[in-house]
Amino acid sequence: MFIIAGLGNPTREYEKTRHNAGFEAIDVLADKLGIRVTDKKHRAYCGMGMIGMEKVILSKPQTFMNLSGESIGAMADFYKVDPKQIIVICDDINLPEGQLRIRTKGSAGGHNGLKDIINHLGTQEFLRIRVGVGEKPKEMDLADYVLGRFPKEQEALMENAYKEAAEAAIMMVTDGADMAMNHFNRKK
């Protein structure tokens, strides 16, 4: 079994913001797989389904970004899922808009949602799909930037990135993380 969790902040106030890239990718993945992510469990909206022969749980933690580990850790404990079978999709300000970066482990890289997940899982060894949202302007506060929305001219680029993140998650489950890294970790 795999847990595929998209990070973001709940409530309409944060819809379509840079920080909600994970939620957006989960919505695309759920639509593609025909999974309804509406069950309220483990402080998240969840839905179960299959990717190939593997059972998957799609999750959108409702704990707010900085406490994402509370939800994902509880889910991993309940379903007895090894951290190496958890895929986290999140935003990344260190990547250009729309670019993906897949990793099998690593530090939080300054991302508070990932930091909390590492803390709750007790390991850095879980899979990640980082979706580039672009570098913040120097004069702008980080919170204001990640909680801001994309300009109109970048919306199509980001919609494509969410589709690619969904495809990457499927490939990670069916063909392994190495295959997904070889395919998606390319410069744009």
Give per-residue pLDDT as tens, 103-154. Answer: 999 999 999 999 999 999 999 999 999 999 999 999 999 999 999 999 999 9
pLDDT of res. 130: 98
pLDDT of res. 168: 98
Q: What SS3 state is found at 131?
A: strand
CB atoms < 10 A from the CB of 133, how many?
Answer: 28
pLDDT of res. 188: 54
Sheet containing 127-132: order of strands:
39-41, 44-51, 54-61, 2-6, 86-92, 127-132, 100-103
Query: What residues in the chain have per-residue pLDDT under 50?
Result: none
Backbone angles phi, psi at 181, to 5 degrees: -65, -45
Predicted TM-score (pTM) of this structure? 0.97
Question: Mind telling me the catalytic residues?
Answer: 19
pLDDT of res. 96: 95
Q: Which long-range contacts (CB under 8 A, 24 or more apart) does 31-35 make?
A: 32/166, 32/170, 33/58, 33/170
The CATH architecture annotation of domain 2-184 reads 3-Layer(aba) Sandwich (3.40)
Q: Euclidean distance between the first and final Cα of the chain, in Å?
A: 32
Rounded distance between C-alpha atoms, residue 47 and residue 73, angstroms:
17
Rounded distance between C-alpha atoms, residue 43 and residue 75, angstroms:
9
